[in-house]
A and B are shown apart, each in its own frame.
Chain A
Amino acid sequence: MDFSEYSIETLRSRLSNGEARARFVVESSLDSAEKLNETLNAFLQIDRAGALARADEIDSSKNLRNAPLAGVPVAIKDNICVRGLQASCGSRILGPYHPPYSATAIERLQKAGAVIIGKTNCDEFAMGSSNENSAFGAVKNPWDTARVPGGSSGGSAAAVAAGIVPAALGSETGGSVRQPASLCGIVGFKPTYGRISRYGLVAFASSLDQIGIFGRKVSDIASVLGIVAGRDTHDATTADVPVPDYVGELAGDIKGARIGFPRELFGEGLDDEVRAAVLKTIEAYRELGAEIVEVELPHAKYCIAVYYIIATAEASSNLARYDGVRYGFRAEEAKDLKHMYRATRDEGFGAEVKRRIMLGTYVLSSGYYDAYYRKAQQVRTLIKHDFLRAFETCDAVLTPTTPTTAFLIGEKTDDPLAMYLNDIYTCTANLAGIPGINVPCALSSEGLPIGFQLLGAHWSEPTLFRLADAYERAHPFEARPRVHVASASE
């Protein structure tokens, strides 16, 4: 039996009516992961023993079997702590680090019966848009293994796109879930800031970071979000906002819904094929009964500059703890403390991480703080206000997710600025703290997926899901990548 096309809902009904056993589902997921990993390099650790033991536990316990995600295999980005598994964050500096505790989102997933099959590859400390910054090699795009899957959550995106798992967790700081989802032809979602606990998510830029969810279907995202969302006493930035029944709110038509169209985001720098495909989705919404309203986001053009100041500033501080003193990698034969710090961080961090630590250190330095960090925070507020104003006249803003389709491995590695521009449509949501979702909508002439994104007001996840789900049902994205469980088993 091939589960790779099943939604979580279908999988759950097969499991609960006894047609399938958790062990069988999990084992086939593990088999695919091991087999496809040679091609994709999507997993840094596959936990066969742990996952099978958990699957058996589920099969043998009636209570567990009825849990909402019982027996559903999931993959977790390697910057989210799972007790018993590694957490390398794609970096050498964490060495063989195994966290002694699990992230809150992981505890909630596990309590709901989800089975973690492994930890996925990512850009080092989630810094990157192509997955080429992983210390453990780039992840390959299942649609074309010469191309990047996007980043930084490229491993999780590839695992879902290839049909290994129906859902995976990634993390977003500037688009690290939506961008790879777009490049891999799957659904990728970043929640409102404070919706999912960050406790146990290794910090990159704390005021922007959120755990995000990959799935093949909008409904899969809704199923997982319902489990992991909500206030956490371990994370003071989670909000005490009730968690609605996201799945239950999916159905229903969207007549009268207002889709915001920010014309200025469809101009220069956007690939023609992507533009055409995304404009077509606007027409599709009109056909579904939605009203299209023009909105203005005058400060959105500053988002990359603002993002790379705030994100690097916070990163320079968040990554200070990797100093070789308590855990992870420590450079050998240091002569004194300062030398130990320098050698450890020099050998342990990759080039992009060092670049960002230096940028961040610079913008926080005495004499530069006001010119960079403070100003960036002020512009961040303006960007947020742009969105709040836009949401007075529309229910969601529709934009491209990425300027281009998946690019070639190595194509942009020598040009960090070109690489940074990959986040141009996504990082506004992180700066504004609003939710966003990528929905695949077309294939390019080269056969590469194109996605569009919907951005909603804070806590508007139900609306966002309903809009995305309506499009998905009307225009199902049925193409499958070349590297896929189904084709591998043929």
Chain B
Amino acid sequence: MKNGWETIIGLEIHAQLSTESKIFCGCSTRFGDEPNSNTCPVCLGLPGALPVLNRRAVELGARAALALGLHINERSVFARKNYFYPDLPKGYQISQYDQPFSERGELEIMTAERDEAGHARVWKPKVVQITRLHLEEDAGKNVHEGLPDVDRYSYVDLNRAGTPLAEIVTEPDFRSSWEAYDYVNHVRRALQWVGASEADMEKGNLRCEANVSVRKIGDTNFGTKVELKNLNSVRFMQHAIEYEIERQINALESGGRVVQETRLWDERAGETRIMRSKEEAHDYRYFPEPDLPPLVVTRDFIEGVRATMPELPEARRRRFMDQYALSYSDASQLTSERSLADYYERAAEAARNARAAANWIRTDLLRELEASGTPVEKCPIPPEEIGALIRLIEEGKISGKQGKDVLSEMFRTGKPAAKIVEEQGMVQVSDAGAIDPIIDEIISANPKQVEQFRAGKESLFGFFVGQVMKASQGKANPKVVNERLKEKLKV
């Protein structure tokens, strides 16, 4: 960023809560069904229909709030947000306003500035103040493409109307696009982790908006903020914020000013464009929703939800570092998803070597999963078998190199490690009587190298080890090969 300027960013995230049915009626929340098939008088906004709150949405909202360190209000009030739009069947959205479901959250995230290539420099903790998390319903979708007469008509699909959302609003606490980026990723993972939301930006069940302003370092007043929309991935959001910071600073440095407005990010063009000005902003005329009594949740309910919460990712990362002596980056990677962390712990226990389990999972197993596009939950190798494989290596039954082949075979066939080792006769040869003849053969086949080695070129030792291992088809125990080679090359 340009010298002398400071960036102020606040974020709003809309996360779809993973309920089976909508927040105020019994219609399915399934994605991709025939347009307007998951609708009823309530979510169509038919005259006389009334909303009834889905308890499951409240439970998931509570999980989300607890995962983000928010305080849940025992009494909150739904409010109507009034505006006209064809995808909004009632002419108002049922949301929450001055008495939200939860507020005052303090969330510690890890964040890092990035180098030119986008690689993190130093990870450091940052505390983000979350203003509120409230419950609301989603709108439907206007369709302008792919249907007859789209030049003259637009279409409305209300399958999504009434889908439960948690809106999560932060204070203007971020000072760079990367902080915002790390925060959104943290929230995504936390919501997935506790089962509150799939939080998949590509599917549209996590959406975010950023309020961006800049000011001279040392200024105490905020600059004029611009709201950014159409941020369809965390990466796009980071790009958009970066672009917007630059645009605002350029405007101010060239004697212009920043206008309060809403701008849309165009990823292809790599720029933000004005959507509406402050003058065109809606007066939403919020007032308490008279069709719904205040939402009252008891302490018992909140504690009940808390009791069923899994260990949260940050806590688990710290425990992995303490309990398994893992590095920060190993522990972070293994706690990036709850299913992966669960997998790791089971494998580590079976292996009786937590660090080895971490290494095998992080390098070999994750490579297989990524290459085949398999999620951890569908991994064909049970975690206990990763443990079994590690034990085979540690007991000297097979070499580490053989282990890699075995793992690939396990992934392909789902067979247990021991069975593959047995089937392929992959037993490690540690008997000097069996290894010596191979060494003798290599020595006599490479007289020149032997001469050089004996003349002092010790770097050639690795060459001999490699040759012997190769000749034994990887079955020779490297430790024994080392000892015998030293012995035999000594003259």
Binding site for B on A (CB under 8 A): 79-81, 87, 89, 94, 97, 99-101, 103, 198-203, 205-207, 233-237, 313-314, 316-317, 319-321, 323, 325-327, 337, 341, 361, 364-366, 369, 373
Contacts and interface: CB of A to CB of B under 8 A. Distances in A.
B47 A94 contact: yes
8 contacts: A198-B48, A200-B49, A234-B52, A236-B51, A236-B52, A237-B293, A325-B156, A364-B285
A81 B156 CA distance: 24
Interface stretch (B88-96, B270-278, B311-319, B436-444): B88-96
A172 to B, nearest CB: 15
A326 B45 contact: yes
Interface stretch (B78-86, B259-267, B375-383): B78-86
The bracket for how many chain B residues form the interface is: 20 to 34
Contacts of A341: 84
A321 B86 contact: no
A373 B80 CA distance: 14
A365 B89 CA distance: 21
Contacts of B156: 325-326
Given A99-B46, A99-B47, A320-B91, 10 more contacts: A87-B47, A103-B48, A234-B50, A236-B53, A317-B80, A320-B82, A323-B91, A326-B89, A364-B82, A366-B285
A320 B48 contact: no
Nearest to B86: A325
A207 B46 contact: no
B303 interface: no
4 closest Cβ pairs, A-B complex: A320-B91, A207-B290, A206-B290, A364-B285
B292 interface: yes
Point out which of A80, A100, A321, A341 has the most chain B C-beta atoms below 10 A from its C-beta. Answer: A321
B287 A364 contact: yes
B260 to A, nearest CB: 15
B49 A199 contact: yes
A198 B41 CA distance: 14
A323 B292 contact: no
B291 interface: yes
Q: Quick one: which of A79, A80, A81, A97 has the most chain B CB within 10 A?
A: A81
Contact of B41 (A101, A203, A313, A366): A101
A317 B48 contact: no
B287 A373 contact: yes
A199 B50 contact: yes
Nearest to A233: B52
Contact of B44 (A202, A326, A364): A326
Contact of B48 (A200, A233, A337): A200
Contacts of B287: 313-314, 317, 364, 369, 373
Contacts of B51: 236
A89 B91 CA distance: 18
B201 to A, nearest CB: 28
A84 B180 CA distance: 54
B283 interface: yes
Interface in B56-111: 80, 82, 84, 86, 89-92
Nearest to B91: A320
A327 B82 CA distance: 19
A103 B49 CA distance: 9
Contacts of A373: 287
B285 A317 contact: yes
B162 to A, nearest CB: 14
Contact of B47 (A81, A236, A313): A81
Contacts of A337: 86
A146 B287 CA distance: 42
B50 A236 contact: yes
A321 B291 contact: no
B54 to A, nearest CB: 11
Contacts of A316: 82, 285
Contacts of A202: 47-48
Contacts of B286: 364
Nearest to B82: A317
Contacts of A79: 48
Nearest to A103: B48
Contacts of B292: 236-237
Interface in B16-61: 41, 44-53
A329 to B, nearest CB: 13
B90 A320 contact: yes
B47 A97 contact: yes
Contacts of A94: 47
A356 B293 CA distance: 25
Given A206-B291, A236-B293, A321 B285 contact: no
Nearest to A325: B86
A365 B283 contact: yes
A204 B285 CA distance: 17
A361 B48 contact: no
Contacts of A205: 290
A365 B286 CA distance: 8
Nearest to B284: A366
B157 to A, nearest CB: 12
A201 B48 contact: yes
Contacts of A326: 44-45, 89, 156
Interface centre among B82, B287, B292 (most CB of A within 10 A): B287
A100 B41 contact: yes
B363 to A, nearest CB: 55
Given A236-B291, A323-B84, A326-B89, A81 B48 contact: yes
Interface string B274-314: 00000000010111001111000000000000000000000
B50 A321 contact: no
Contacts of B86: 323, 325, 337
A366 B283 contact: yes
A321 B49 CA distance: 12
B290 A314 contact: yes
A286 B80 CA distance: 49
B100 to A, nearest CB: 18
A340 B146 CA distance: 23
A325 B89 CA distance: 8
Nearest to A97: B47
B285 A365 contact: yes
Contacts of B52: 233-236
Contacts of B84: 320, 323, 341
Contacts of A325: 86, 89, 156
B91 A317 contact: yes
A235 B290 CA distance: 11
Residue of A202, A203, A205 ringed by the most chain B CB atoms within 10 A: A203
Contact of A327 (B46, B48, B91): B46
Nearest to A328: B47
Interface centre among B49, B53, B82, B92 (most CB of A within 10 A): B49
A321 B89 contact: yes
Contacts of A89: 47
Contact of A321 (B53, B91, B290): B91
Contacts of A203: 47-48, 291
Q: Which of A103, A207, A326, A361 has the most CB of B within 10 A?
A: A326
Contacts of B47: 81, 87, 89, 94, 97, 99, 202-203, 321
Contacts of B91: 317, 319-321, 323
A100 B46 contact: yes
Nearest to A198: B50
Contacts of A199: 48-50
Most buried by A among B45, B52, B91, B283: B91
A97 B286 CA distance: 29
A373 B98 CA distance: 15
A237 B50 CA distance: 10
A74 to B, nearest CB: 18
B57 to A, nearest CB: 14
A119 to B, nearest CB: 13
Contacts of A364: 82, 285-287
